[in-house]
């Protein structure tokens, strides 16, 4: 049996736990990081080779009490596995370059392992357990290595996401029971979940419950207030994984679970989802402009960008009902592209903030100014990622939002126009961020002692920038990889 993915997950957990328990030594940090990095590179190379050779790969394992766990690697999960793996290596490299302690690296490895499980989950147990377990390493990252208000931020993060998980569990149990599953079942495959035995009211209640769980993770207004606090208090790599990977858990959950099983329930609630998404795009974008903390500004911008994902789902379910193949492909390509693109761009931005913070130890924009002359290379990368965040054509940030707006315009032209106009706000706060940091008079006397990017930092930012440019000029690299008939068959749910 192919054990590529299980070996990667096992390596993440075991090395993460061992690294976390090891004593604090710089030499231990370096040796363990090099060893783990080489092992991961080899494992992921072999795993990717197998995937592209044979196509979809399904792993089945016996868990406690003979319950079967299922992990599925397919065209929808592989891009997230790739970005998760890439950010794990880049984040580990960043931590070594900054001489951070190995316990943080250990938590990062365990988080990556859980995310590998979530993105490939093919049964209810692995889906819910990994969805919930993501909280644990991120909670300890913030609690142990966060800022001055780390306790408040970490517990707020835990409470919000835990409550969302309770809603998710309620919906999953109801859906499993209605699908004929019981505690005596040997497995609980997601593919066997059905809504045929549910009334319309039951479908709406279950869909609402699942949506709450996913929207807390995404997050959209009014479930968003935990995110800015979490970002401002989390260490740099925590913010990178939070924005680039963890926010996508909610978006992935919708197409893994709600769309294929409860399309009618989602269609009923879609107008409300669309309104919350549009409100998040506009209102949260305005809030971002008002921030003076770099991390908080980027955190609010992430919420606005995830609003486009919610808007895309509203458009997608309406396109499915109308059986509009073009709109289905446009909207889903836009949703998926937006999530992957935002992962690269937000990771680049938070790495830039972290590198700047390591030099001046302040996130307050009033502490900066005139850094272009002293740090031209960081200024170049920071400006690039900020412009990509503002959806500059030629970058990946433009493609996802353009596809979503294009698909939205037919049935929801007013929503599309308002969302398009909000891009002006996005450009404004990103340009404002760059202006305050790199132009004008120098406001911090420590600036004269600053040094520009080191080689390892250039490699980290350059790798992410290359991904943003590649997807921006050749988006077909990702869109052609996605299956085009995934949701077309769901139109039958609106006929029967």
pLDDT score at 1: 46
Q: Using CA atoms, how far apart are residues 160 and 216, in angstroms rounded to an integer?
A: 7
Give me the mean pLDDT over the 458-465 stretch. 96
Highest mean pLDDT among 151-160, 356-365, 434-443: 151-160
pLDDT class of 30 with cuts at 50, 70, 90: low
Secondary structure class of 405 (helix, strand, coil): helix
Residue 62 phi/psi, 5-degree rounding, is: -90, 130
CB of 219 within 8 A of CB of 147?
no
- Measuring CA to CA, how many Å separate 175 from each of 209, 277, 317, 436? 11, 26, 20, 51
Q: Using CA atoms, how far apart are residues 269 and 263, in angstroms rounded to an integer?
A: 10
Residue-wise burial string across 179-190, b where 16 or more C-beta atoms lie within 10 A, e elsewhere: bebeeeeebbbb
Locate 449 and state its tokens.
């002692």
Identify the residue with better confidence: 37 or 372. Answer: 372
Three-state SS for 195-261 is CCCCCHHHHHHHHHHHHHHHHHHCCCCCCCCHHHHHHHHCCHHHHHHHHHHHCHHHHHHHHHHHHHH
Place of tokens 């809603």: 167
Secondary structure class of 18 (helix, strand, coil): helix
Burial (CB < 10 A; 0-12, 13-18, 19+), residue 428, is middle
pLDDT score at 32: 64
Q: Using CA atoms, how far apart are residues 142 and 149, in angstroms rounded to an integer?
A: 9
Residue 58 phi/psi, 5-degree rounding, is: -120, 125
Q: Using CA atoms, how far apart are residues 8 and 390, in angstroms rounded to an integer?
A: 35
Is 445 a residue whose pLDDT tops 70? no
Sequence-distant (≥ 6) Cβ neighbours of residue 456 within 8 angstroms: 93, 94, 97
What value, to the nearest 5°, has the Cα angle with vertex 52 and ends 109 and 118?
35
Strand partners, 72: 58
Give me the mean pLDDT over the 70-74 stretch. 89
Of 176, 161, 184, which is closest to residue 206 (Cα–Cα)?
176
Q: Using CA atoms, how far apart are residues 374 and 354, in angstroms rounded to an integer?
A: 17
Lowest-pLDDT range, 233-237, 333-337, 370-374, 492-496?
Answer: 492-496
Secondary structure class of 190 (helix, strand, coil): helix
Whether the link from the prior residue into 219 is cis, omega within 30° of 0, is yes
Average pLDDT along the chain: 87
pLDDT class of 58 with cuts at 50, 70, 90: confident
CB of 316 within 8 A of CB of 339?
no
Give me the mean pLDDT over the 355-373 stretch. 84
Sequential DSSP letters for 324-343: -HHHHHHHHHHHHHHHHHHH
Helix (H) and strand (E) counts in the chain = 20, 2
Give me the mean pLDDT over the 296-313 stretch. 93
pLDDT score at 2: 54
Burial (CB < 10 A; 0-12, 13-18, 19+), residue 462, is middle
Identify the residue with better confidence: 283 or 52. Answer: 283
CA dihedral 435, 440, 441, 443 (to 10 degrees): -10
What percent of the chain is predicted at pLDDT more than 90?
A: 52
pLDDT score at 434: 93
| Gyration radius of the chain over CA positions | 22
Is 275 a residue whose pLDDT tops 70? yes
């Amino acid at each position: 049996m192919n054990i590529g993915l299980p070996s990667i997950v096992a390596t993440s957990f075991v090395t993460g736990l061992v690294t976390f328990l090891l004593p604090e030594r710089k030499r231990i940090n370096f040796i363990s990081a090099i060893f783990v990095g080489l092992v991961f590179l080899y494992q992921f190379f072999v795993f990717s080779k197998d995937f592209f050779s044979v196509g979809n790969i399904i792993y089945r394992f016996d868990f406690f009490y003979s319950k079967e766990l299922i992990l599925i690697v397919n065209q929808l999960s592989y891009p997230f596995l790739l970005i998760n793996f890439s950010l794990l290596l880049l984040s580990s490299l960043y931590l070594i370059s900054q001489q951070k302690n190995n316990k943080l690296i250990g938590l990062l490895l365990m988080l990556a392992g859980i995310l590998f499980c979530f993105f490939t989950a093919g049964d209810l147990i692995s889906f819910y357990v990994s969805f919930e377990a993501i909280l644990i390493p991120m909670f300890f990252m913030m609690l142990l290595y966060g800022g001055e208000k780390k306790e408040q931020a970490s517990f707020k993060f835990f409470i919000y996401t835990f409550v969302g998980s309770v809603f998710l569990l309620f919906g999953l149990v109801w859906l499993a029971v209605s699908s004929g599953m019981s505690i005596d079942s040997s497995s609980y495959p997601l593919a066997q979940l059905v809504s045929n035995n549910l009334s319309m009211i039951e479908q709406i209640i279950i869909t609402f419950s699942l949506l709450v769980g996913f929207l807390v993770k995404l997050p959209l207004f009014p479930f968003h207030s935990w995110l800015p606090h979490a970002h401002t208090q989390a260490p740099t790599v925590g913010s990178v994984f939070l924005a680039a990977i963890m926010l996508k858990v909610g978006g992935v959950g919708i197409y893994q679970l709600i769309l294929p099983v409860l399309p009618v329930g989602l269609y009923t609630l879609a107008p409300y989802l669309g309104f919350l998404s549009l409100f998040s795009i506009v209102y949260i974008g305005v809030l971002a402009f008002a921030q003076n903390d770099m991390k908080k500004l980027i955190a609010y911008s992430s919420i606005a960008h995830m609003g486009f994902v919610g808007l895309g789902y509203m458009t997608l379910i309406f396109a499915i009902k109308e059986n509009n193949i073009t709109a289905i492909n446009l909207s889903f390509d836009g949703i998926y592209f937006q999530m992957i693109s935002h992962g690269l761009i937000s990771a680049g931005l938070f790495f830039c903030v972290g590198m700047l913070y390591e030099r001046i130890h302040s996130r307050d924009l009033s502490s900066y100014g005139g850094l272009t002359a002293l740090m031209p290379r960081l200024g170049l990368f920071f400006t690039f990622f900020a412009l990509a965040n503002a959806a500059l054509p030629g970058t990946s940030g433009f493609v996802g939002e353009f596809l979503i707006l294009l698909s939205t315009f037919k049935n929801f032209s007013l929503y599309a126009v308002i969302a398009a106009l909000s891009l002006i706000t996005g450009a404004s706060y990103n340009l404002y961020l760059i202006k305050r940091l790199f132009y004008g008079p120098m406001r911090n006397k420590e600036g004269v002692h600053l040094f520009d990017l080191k080689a390892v930092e250039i490699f980290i930012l350059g790798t992410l920038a290359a991904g943003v440019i590649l997807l921006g000029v050749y988006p077909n690299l990702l869109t052609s990889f996605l299956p085009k008939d995934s949701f077309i068959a769901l139109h039958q749910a609106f006929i029967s």
